[in-house]
Each structure stands twice: as structure tokens, then as C-alpha cells.
A and B are shown apart, each in its own frame.
Chain A
Amino acid sequence: QQQVKQSPQSLIVQKGGISIINCAYENTAFDYFPWYQQFPGKGPALLIAIRPDVSEKKEGRFTISFNKSAKQFSLHIMDSQPGDSATYFCAASMNNQGGKLIFGQGTELSVKP
């Protein structure tokens, strides 16, 4: 019940295309859903996050869509660029467990020029 399931495991997108990564969770106590971006040799870095009281959050080319009833959320990267090539992790946490994040398995995104 503590798991966050992420798909796909890997994704290849052409430059300018839309990258979509999906996550699903079971535990309805989760109430914070961040996405992290990780480049090789680096630690994960917060990209964008959402609370379940909104269905969508947009920051630049990155959008989170959140479906509370389906317990699913997704990351959309518009106009994908080669510099977006990285591993993306969705995560979830509960209000009383601050920095304890439950991560998804990760998606390795490759954006081809």
C-alpha cells in the first residue's frame, strides 16, 4: 500500500514532442506528489509538485495532471528538448512524514534531436 507505481520504465521522444510519464498509488493518506529529475552522477532534484486539492499544475513546459479518484498522476513535458534527457521519478508523501518520500521506479527519458 506504500508503493508508487511508475510507467513506462523508459521513453524515447523526438525533440519537440510531448513526454508523458504516469504514476499510480494506493494509499489515500498520501497528500503530496512531487516529481524529481535526476541526471547521471547527480542527486534527484525537485522539478514540480502537486497537492491533491488541484487537478493540474503547470510550470513552464512541465505539467502535472492529478486524478484523485483514480489515484493516478502524470508528468507531461511539452516541447521536449535533448536537455530534458534524464531519469524522472514520481514520489508521494504524507503530511505527518514530511521528507519521507516514497519514490516510483523511475523513467529514463531520452529526447532525440
Chain B
Amino acid sequence: EPEVTQTPSHQVTQMGQEVILRCVPISNHLYFYWYRQILGQKVEFLVSFYNNEISEKSEIFDDQFSVERPDGSNFTLKIRSTKLEDSAMYFCASTKRGQINSPLHFGNGTRLTVT
């Protein structure tokens, strides 16, 4: 079964550094998302992306964050200047259609540790 793949599985970075988290969504999916899960807490929506532009973003997704689909397969999340509170598991997700009953497929996540 096709999967959403994320790399790296674990990223350690120093505060103030830039990080790029990478995702390869399922190939025929058109809608892409980033979610975040701080350790022990709930999964939180960050941003949705369709047709090469952001369709919606949460309050968490401030100017430090950006997303890009640089080619036909990758979908990236960039954090420009990381803060300690950015430490979390970041999940990429994709779906074929934007309707509510189109299942979201999540990757296994990238654990970001900011020191």
C-alpha cells in the first residue's frame, strides 16, 4: 500500500538554526498537510497546501514557518530560526481529495529536537 514517507526520522538542531523537514506524499494525492505533536500532547494542525499554495494555516504557523513543493514529489516544511518550543514530532499527511471524508494518510513523522 502506498505510504507517506518522511525524512529524517529524527533531527537535532541548535536554537536559531534553520531546519527543513521533508515529505514525499502518496503519488496521486493532491492535498498536503503538516501537523505537529508536542510530546504527550494532541496532534495539532499547522498548514494545508493545494495547487502550489497554502489553503489554510493555524496560529502556530507564523512567519518562521514556510512550506514548499519544490518538485512533483516532495513537500517540505522549513523552520527559519528554531526555538526550543519547536521541539515536537512533525507529521506530514496527504489526501486525494479535499472533501471531509477523504481519508488523511499520515507519515511516521520527524522528531525535531531543538537544543
- Which residues of A come within 8 Å of B, CB atoms? 31-32, 34, 36, 41-46, 49, 51, 89, 93-95, 97-106
Contacts and interface: CB of A to CB of B under 8 A. Distances in A.
Contacts of A44: 43, 91, 106
Given A43-B108, A51-B101, A99 B42 contact: no
B100 A95 contact: yes
Contacts of B104: 46, 99, 101
Interface string B83-115: 000000001010101111111111111000000
Contacts of B105: 46
B98 A99 contact: yes
B56 interface: yes
A98 B42 contact: no
B31 interface: yes
A97 B95 CA distance: 13
A106 B89 CA distance: 15
Nearest to A95: B100
Given A41-B108, A43-B107, A45-B106, A98 B45 contact: no
A102 B100 contact: no
B41 interface: yes
Nearest to B99: A98
B103 A46 contact: yes
B93 A99 contact: yes
Given A32-B100, A51-B101, A89-B42, A98 B106 contact: no
8 contacts: A34-B103, A42-B108, A49-B103, A89-B42, A98-B99, A99-B33, A99-B98, A101-B104
